[in-house]
């Protein structure tokens, strides 16, 4: 039986934890609002860019039978090397947010291993870096500090480097994995093939079927610029999406923690009151029996 003082101390400590978790929840919800706004805005841009790219690509593929001879679109029959770029948070305390992404990456690694494909990992975010370092998995590249503050320039630089490997033939495929934001209470692991650009899967709402005039006349120049922008922006958007999801996950985790702490305080208070009553009863019995013996 814990002493009264012990219980009191424990209640105090739980209450302190509760204060911290509540504050973290508030901070996260404020940050979430901002990030969500950012994500909402960039989503339009990302969608338009994808739409434009897929429309041009499919039209050009239809126009000349030999398809597009840009390396960005060449689908390797048997990919030998695959780069996996994945985004995790720099900080923990956000429930299963990071582990879900890591789980997916592990699954991919396993699949690739079974298929005899070499996988190389590019980690963004401290949690992912730490996890794979701890498990002795070699990382091709690791970036820390980018997932907490998405920056277009940095994101573009990172993905361009990965894309350069692709163009040089060092890797045959680039996959981007991140945990994305669905709504305040749901996150979803998203997996995107960045390169080669898989335009057959891109949604096409073929509004106009008419001939498309392209300027400058060199199709490849425009398409190349567009693809570059597309992958850079996809990377950037993944970072924003991931950040929004991180905040929502943390908000949820901290909300749950606050509720749990509240319940704990409640049960500890009951325990404390019981112990106190017990002590009083014991004291009373002692006094009464003492008085009885005096008679």
Partner 1 sequence: MELLKLEIVTPNGVIFDKDVKQVTLPGSEGEFGVLARHASLVSLLTTGVIVIETKENKTIAVAINSGYVKVDEEKTTCIVDGAVALDAEDNDISKALESAKELLKSTEASNVAIASAITKVEQMAKIL
Under rule CB under 8 A, which residues in 142-161 are in contact with partner 1? 152
What are 46's two structure tokens? Answer: 């990302």
Q: Which of 86, 132, 233, 272 binds partner 1 (CB under 8 A)?
A: 233
Q: Is 170 left (phi over 0), alpha (psi -120 to 50) or beta?
A: alpha
Q: Residue 274, interface with partner 1 (CB under 8 A)?
A: no
Burial of 5 (0-12, 13-18, 19+ CB in 10 A): exposed
| Part of the chain binding partner 1 (CB under 8 A), chosen from 128-136, 173-181, 218-226, 257-265 | 218-226
Whole-angstrom distance, CA of residue 237 vs CA of residue 43:
7
Longest dimension (CA), the chain: 117
CB distance 94 to 57 below 8 Å: no
Measured from the CB atom, is 65 or 207 closer to partner 1? 207
Kindly give the interhelix angle for 219-294 and 4-63, rounded to the nearest 10 degrees.
170
Whole-angstrom distance, CA of residue 255 vs CA of residue 162:
38
Q: Which of 4, 144, 202, 222 binds partner 1 (CB under 8 A)?
A: 222
DSSP summary character for residue 71 = G
Q: Residue 55, interface with partner 1 (CB under 8 A)?
A: yes
Q: Residue 52, interface with partner 1 (CB under 8 A)?
A: yes
Q: Which of 93, 137, 144, 214 binds partner 1 (CB under 8 A)?
A: 214
Q: Residue 49, interface with partner 1 (CB under 8 A)?
A: yes
Least Å distance between CB 230 and partner 1?
10
Q: Residue 215, interface with partner 1 (CB under 8 A)?
A: yes
Least Å distance between CB 160 and partner 1?
15
CB distance 43 to 237 below 8 Å: yes
Q: Residue 241, interface with partner 1 (CB under 8 A)?
A: no
Site residues (CB under 8 A) for partner 1? 40-42, 44-45, 48-49, 52, 55-56, 152, 207-208, 210-216, 221-222, 225-226, 229, 233, 236
């Amino acid at each position: 039986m814990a002493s009264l003082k012990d219980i009191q101390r424990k209640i105090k400590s739980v209450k302190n934890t509760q204060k911290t978790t509540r504050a973290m929840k508030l901070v996260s919800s404020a940050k979430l609002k901002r990030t969500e706004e950012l994500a909402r805005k960039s989503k339009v841009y990302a969608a338009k860019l994808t739409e434009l790219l897929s429309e041009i690509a499919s039209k050009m593929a239809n126009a000349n039978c030999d398809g597009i001879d840009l390396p960005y679109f060449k689908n390797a029959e048997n990919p030998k090397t695959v780069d996996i770029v994945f985004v995790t948070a720099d900080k923990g305390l956000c429930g299963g947010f990071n582990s879900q992404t890591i789980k997916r990456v592990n699954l991919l690694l396993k699949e690739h291993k079974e298929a005899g494909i070499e996988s190389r990992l590019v980690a963004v975010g401290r949690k992912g870096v730490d996890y794979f370092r701890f498990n002795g998995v070699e990382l091709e590249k690791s970036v820390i500090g980018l997932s907490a503050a998405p920056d277009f320039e940095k994101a573009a630089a990172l993905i361009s480097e990965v894309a350069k490997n692709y163009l040089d033939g060092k890797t045959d495929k680039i996959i981007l994995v991140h945990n994305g934001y669905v709504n305040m209470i749901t996150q979803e692991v998203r997996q995107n093939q960045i390169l080669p650009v898989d335009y057959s899967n891109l949604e096409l709402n073929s509004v106009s079927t008419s001939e498309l005039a392209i300027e400058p006349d060199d199709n490849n120049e425009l398409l190349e610029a567009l693809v570059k922008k597309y992958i850079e922006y996809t990377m950037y958007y993944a970072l924003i999406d991931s950040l929004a999801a991180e905040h929502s996950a943390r908000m949820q985790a901290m909300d749950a923690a606050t509720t749990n702490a509240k319940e704990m305080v409640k049960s500890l208070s009951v325990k404390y009151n019981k112990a106190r009553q017990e002590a009083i009863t014991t004291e009373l019995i002692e006094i009464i029996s003492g008085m009885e013996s005096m008679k």
